[in-house]
């Protein structure tokens, strides 16, 4: 006995599950919208933190922290400020080169930004507040770690005396120190050695100049916030439409944004929240003493 085609009239329908209709354009999650929303939120957060450090805004409409108040926070201990200011200055010096020279495409920009932030994190693990932590050097993911020159010789200091021309071909000899250093690695500092870097410690995007004095923390932090805002703004200009976003770009953006939150934002926000709670308790106790003072 043959069966007719399933129709609403004969009441016969196939037993297999029907496929759901395809998602409409409005139902598809927009990577472009997500990246722009997170970038705008991060720009607002960085601008708010900068104003909070400058004493220009009340922390979530509760307390106004000026520099004397900030100096009493454990986060702003004078012994730690110089170390933190120096690290922030190194990151602030390195970011403009990535923004200007490594941002022809969104993919190139995000890869370079992730590399810089990873190098900065490794630098902080090696150069701690208590000095150089040599045990972290082997664990740090730094490009060209422990690279040696030709012939297995140790690290040599670059200088004019090491450069000599090959009389036959007008090229540098293979044994010179210039050829032993990769061209992709930036060695920025007096004498080519950088800011007290260890042998084999090299960075691709992180600049480590020698500083004659400790920078001012508040000015350095404000400038770093400005540069990070420029980095997020640059990314949004590289992604003007949704067709420019890909899952790989979204993944790289998420990694870079998480590093920014870890390195800059989380510690500052936590310290301000704890100090604001302590300050509010003191304010409430002082008000209670004034109100109850006339009744006792």
Domain positions in the chain are 31-135+216-283
The dihedral sign for the CA sequence 252, 253, 255, 259: positive
Q: Which residue has better confidence, 143 or 53?
A: 53
Of 248, 206, 256, nearest in space to 228 by CA: 256
Over 90: is that where the pLDDT of 44 sits? Answer: yes
HSE value, Cβ hemisphere, 13 Å, CA-based, for 198: 18
CB neighbour burial string for 193-209, b if at least 16 within 10 angstroms, e if fewer: bbbebeeebbbbbbbbe
Of 84, 44, 100, nearest in space to 231 by CA: 100
Over 60: is that where the pLDDT of 180 sits? Answer: no
Over 80: is that where the pLDDT of 58 sits? Answer: yes
pLDDT band at 134 (very low <50, low <70, confident <90, very high): low
Of 264, 294, 122, 139, nearest in space to 203 by CA: 122
The tokens for 22 are 């395809």
The length of the chain in residues reads 296
pLDDT band at 264 (very low <50, low <70, confident <90, very high): confident
Termini Cα distance of the chain: 101
Over 70: is that where the pLDDT of 178 sits? Answer: no
Over 50: is that where the pLDDT of 183 sits? Answer: no
CB neighbour burial string for 217-231, b if at least 16 within 10 angstroms, e if fewer: bbebbbbbbebbbeb
pLDDT band at 295 (very low <50, low <70, confident <90, very high): low
Cα–Cα distance for residue pair 290/199, rounded to 1 Å? 63
- Give 29-36 contacts, CB < 8 A, sequence gap 24+: 30/242, 31/242, 31/245, 31/246, 31/247, 31/249, 31/250, 32/239, 32/241, 32/242, 32/244, 32/245, 33/242, 34/250, 35/235, 35/236, 35/239, 35/245, 35/249, 35/250, 35/253, 36/236, 36/239
Mean pLDDT, the chain, as a whole number? 75
pLDDT band at 258 (very low <50, low <70, confident <90, very high): very high
Of 120, 143, 136, 98, nearest in space to 259 by CA: 120
Over 70: is that where the pLDDT of 185 sits? Answer: no
Overall average pLDDT of the 144-170 stretch: 40
pLDDT digits (tens, 9 = 90+) for 228-241: 999 999 999 999 98
| pTM, full prediction | 0.69
Helix/strand number for the chain, H first, E second: 8, 4
Highest mean pLDDT among 69-73, 145-149, 188-192, 249-253: 249-253
């Amino acid at each position: 006995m043959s069966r007719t085609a399933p129709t609403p009239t004969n009441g016969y329908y196939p037993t297999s599950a029907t496929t759901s209709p395809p998602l409409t354009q409005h139902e598809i999650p927009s990577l472009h919208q997500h990246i722009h929303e997170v970038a705008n939120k991060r720009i607002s957060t960085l601008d708010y933190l900068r104003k909070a450090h400058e004493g220009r805004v009340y922390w979530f409409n509760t307390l106004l922290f000026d520099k004397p108040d900030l100096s009493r926070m454990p986060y702003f201990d004078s012994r730690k400020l110089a170390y933190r200011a120096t690290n922030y200055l190194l990151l602030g010096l390195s970011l403009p080169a990535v923004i200007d020279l490594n941002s022809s495409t969104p993919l190139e920009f995000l890869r370079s930004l992730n590399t810089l932030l990873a190098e900065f994190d490794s630098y902080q693990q090696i150069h701690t507040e208590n000095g150089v932590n040599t045990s972290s050097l082997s664990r740090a993911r730094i490009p060209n770690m422990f690279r040696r020159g030709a012939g297995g010789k140790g690290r040599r200091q670059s200088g004019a005396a090491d450069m000599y021309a090959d009389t036959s071909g007008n090229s540098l000899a293979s044994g010179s120190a210039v050829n032993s250093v990769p061209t992709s690695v930036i060695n920025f500092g007096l004498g080519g050695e950088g800011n007290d870097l260890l042998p084999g410690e090299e960075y691709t995007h992180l600049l480590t100049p020698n500083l004659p004095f400790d920078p001012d923390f508040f000015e350095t932090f404000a400038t770093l916030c400005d540069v990070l805002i420029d980095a997020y703004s640059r990314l949004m200009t590289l992604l003007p439409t949704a067709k420019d976003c890909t899952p790989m770009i979204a993944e790289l953006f998420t990694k870079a944004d998480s590093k920014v939150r870890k390195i800059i934002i989380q510690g500052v926000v936590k310290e301000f929240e704890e100090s604001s709670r302590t300050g509010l308790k003191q304010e409430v106790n002082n008000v209670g003493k004034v109100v109850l003072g006339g009744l006792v």
